Structure 1
Amino acid sequence: MSTGRASKGLMTVLGIATLGAMCVASPARSDEGGVSFWLPGQFGSLIAVPNAPGWTATGLAYHSSVKSGGGKAFPQGGEIRAGLDADVDVMGFGPGYTFDTTIFGGRPSVSVLGLVGHVKASAEATLTGPNGNEISGHRTDTLVGVGDLFPMATIKWNSGVNNFMLYATGDIPVGDYDPDRLANLGIGHGAIDGGLGYTYFNPHSGYEFSASGGVTYNFENEDTDYQNGIDSHFDLAASKFLSEQVHAGVAGYYYQQLTGDDGDGATLGDFKSRVFGVGPQIGYFVPAGEMQAYVNLKGFYEFGAENRSEGWNVWLTFALTPKAGP
């Protein structure tokens, strides 16, 4: 196969914006209230392939459904809440820019992502209130609002079939957040995340493999005196180009909290979390005049969760980038 639309048009659709923003919409994921900054699975195929210089745009739609049994308890808003379930629908959009200059031979990019969404969250019971009182009863909260802002900077290198990436991202906590509410679209605190990625892509055989990993440092939530521990995450993807425009394969992730939660609000101790996910993916490149469009659909089934609800999630991402020159 040729390298035209399949290789020169490759883009950072899965890395150009901090899709981890969507984890703030799920109150049953990890850390305080089951909520982490990084959403596992946000990086995937072709993540380390450099963009052509110029402006880019990224859009996404995301749905997640997670459940935990009544035996699982989560600290949230100064309370201990059991049996957290959530259904999340989020849409996001973000501009980005890839510079024509290079840094140590790598091509830098910057981007930012904003979100809007709908969250429905419920808890079977609130076991302990802020004053130590026993409280019980089912509760459901629904929220339609906006999420935090998520800037990202990357540097990417290409050497034949090998591509490398360094990235840094973070959370600007401006989204809808209330510590007394089950459903939130903001996480209530800032965070910094950084890591690296690699993509093997052979345009002659049509095979590609991508891997990325990083760590997250969380700042304290001043509303609840709770500080999430340091988190680690690994995203993997492999696919085969069936034509110059279409590739299909599998993707997976592993999320592991490295250090325990801290602060006066961390009444359940270190509360380290873990989860695995795996599922299929398909991507499609579409010529769009002077630009190159790309659509990717992937889904994950979660398993092996610890201090975290399990479920499934589906991603539909879209990116528009400049075409690479000859």
Structure 2
Amino acid sequence: MITTKNLLGLIALLPLMTAQADDGGISFWLPGQFGALAAAPTEPGWSLPLIYYHVSASEGSNTAFARGGRTTLGVDAKADLLFASPTYTFAEPLFGAQAAVSVVAAVGRSETSVDATLTGPRGRTFSGGTDDSLKGASDVYLLGTLKWNYGVHNFMAYSMGNLPVGAYDPDRLVNIGLGHASMDAGGGYTYFDKTNEFSAVAGITHNWENPDTHYKNGLDAHLDWSASHFINSQTHLGVVGYFYHQVTGDSGSGATQGDFKSKVSAVGPQAGHFFKVGKDLWYTNLKGYYEFDAKNRAEGWNTWLSLVIPLSG
């Protein structure tokens, strides 16, 4: 039998992290990371969430973007990434909360094409279209959470940072590594009455300057949300969305477009399902986001296919 405890213990393991270079209006925080039952406590012990992430986005040909040591117009980008996030959830409370730590990394392929390059590395000038692609590994991301449960109400505090060790070259159009350090922190809430759930997680990102490009992103604010209904004990359906808004401008000598504040919003469907593998209960989730209201940022769509594997029985 699939119990409420099992539901909470699996779905809430789904949040995973990634980031890309801040140049070009792309943030450290990847909107949509937190989803259904984000703030609900989980089963103690080890687990292994896996996520396949696909994104397709473009930037308008009438806006110049600083990207990889270049100033570009008309960018189309695609990426396919596979994330693994070994997670350990402690059985003993910390400050009255359930504590968990995760180490996240990804491998994948990213490709970008541009309609025109106005300024290249070391001040050279180019024209016409060009493209770039890269296969490699991401930075390593560290996530810590504290979760409190009060009946149908659940609360969470989290923090996340990165070790900038991924595939990165400041002269490339596309990178998988970030190229500098960042730190994100925030909190969330989940309402869950065994049939309906609503979750919202908000946070703020601080970025350190990229030492290669001398580009420093401003403070970024973001909100991920989810609403779903369990149609039976194994399956839930609903909607997801996010809001991202840069609250302070970019800076540094590499910020050739000025403060370049960016924003984007998104909404889309989600579906989740539980199934038995031997004696263990696994969980899979598919969700997609359609983006709109973008400014100084790529706009498109992205899809997340998740699988949560319990490792502690």
| Band of TM-score, shorter chain | over 0.9
| Aligned-partner Cα distance in 2 for 1:80–1:303 | 24
Q: What is aligned with 2:14?
A: 14
Aligned pair in 2 of structure 1 residues 47, 171: CA closer, same or farther (>3 Å)?
A: same
In terms of mean alpha carbon deviation, does 208-217 or 290-299 score higher? 290-299
Q: What is aligned with 2:71?
A: 80
Q: What is aligned with 1:150?
A: 141
Q: What is aligned with 1:39?
A: 30
- Cα deviation for residue 271 of structure 1 reads 0.4
Aligned pair in 2 of structure 1 residues 316, 303: CA closer, same or farther (>3 Å)?
A: same
Q: What is aligned with 1:226?
A: 215
| Aligned-partner Cα distance in 1 for 2:312–2:199 | 22
8 Å CA contact 2:26–2:298 kept in 1: the answer is no
1:277 aligned to 261, 266, 273, which one? 266
Q: What is aligned with 1:116?
A: 107
Structure 2 residue 298 is matched with structure 1 residue 309: yes
Structure 2 residue 307 is matched with structure 1 residue 318: yes
Matches within 5 A, 1:123-138: 123-130=114-121, 132-138=123-129
Q: What is aligned with 2:225?
A: 236
Runs of 4+ in 1 over 6 A off after TM superposition: none
| Aligned-partner Cα distance in 2 for 1:34–1:88 | 16
- Cα deviation for residue 293 of structure 1 reads 1.5
- Cα deviation for residue 321 of structure 1 reads 3.0
What secondary structure does 2:287 align onto? strand
Specify the code of the residue in structure 1 equivalent to 2:63: K
| Aligned-partner Cα distance in 1 for 2:8–2:205 | 32
Specify the code of the residue in structure 2 equivalent to 1:221: N
- Cα deviation for residue 236 of structure 1 reads 0.8
Instruction: Provide the TM-score with structure 1 as the length reference.
Output: 0.91
| Aligned-partner Cα distance in 2 for 1:179–1:132 | 14
Specify the code of the residue in structure 1 equivalent to 2:44: P
In terms of mean alpha carbon deviation, does 64-73 or 188-197 score higher? 64-73
Give the % identical residues: 50
- Cα deviation for residue 9 of structure 1 reads 3.8
Specify the code of the residue in structure 2 equivalent to 1:52: E
- Cα deviation for residue 40 of structure 1 reads 0.6
Q: What is aligned with 1:298?
A: 287
Q: CA-to-partner distance for each residue in 1:166-205, whole Å, 9 max, x for gaps? A: 00001211110111111211111111001001110001xx
| Aligned-partner Cα distance in 2 for 1:202–1:307 | 40
Instruction: Provide the TM-score with structure 2 as the length reference.
Output: 0.95
Structure 2 residue 245 is matched with structure 1 residue 256: yes
What count of residue pairs does the alignment treat as equivalent? Answer: 313
8 Å CA contact 2:38–2:189 kept in 1: the answer is yes
Query: Any gaps of 5 or more consecutive residues in structure 1?
Result: none
| Aligned-partner Cα distance in 1 for 2:64–2:81 | 25
Q: What is aligned with 2:153?
A: 162
Aligned pair in 2 of structure 1 residues 160, 5: CA closer, same or farther (>3 Å)?
A: closer
Q: CA-to-partner distance for each residue in 1:80-122, whole Å, 9 max, x for gaps? A: 1111110110111121100111112100000111100011101
Q: CA-to-partner distance for each residue in 1:26-69, whole Å, 9 max, x for gaps? A: x7xxx412321111111111101111110111101011100122
8 Å CA contact 1:5–1:285 kept in 2: the answer is no
2:163 aligned to 154, 168, 172, which one? 172
Aligned pair in 2 of structure 1 residues 101, 33: CA closer, same or farther (>3 Å)?
A: same
What secondary structure does 2:86 align onto? strand
Q: What is aligned with 1:208?
A: 197
- Cα deviation for residue 288 of structure 1 reads 3.7
Q: CA-to-partner distance for each residue in 1:261-283, whole Å, 9 max, x for gaps? A: 11011111000000000000001
Aligned pair in 2 of structure 1 residues 137, 213: CA closer, same or farther (>3 Å)?
A: same
Q: CA-to-partner distance for each residue in 1:125-151, whole Å, 9 max, x for gaps? A: 111235655421101101111111111
| Aligned-partner Cα distance in 1 for 2:165–2:311 | 31
What secondary structure does 1:83 align onto? strand
What secondary structure does 1:174 align onto? coil
| Aligned-partner Cα distance in 2 for 1:291–1:49 | 20
8 Å CA contact 1:10–1:49 kept in 2: the answer is no
| Aligned-partner Cα distance in 1 for 2:102–2:131 | 35
Query: Any gaps of 5 or more consecutive residues in structure 2?
Result: none
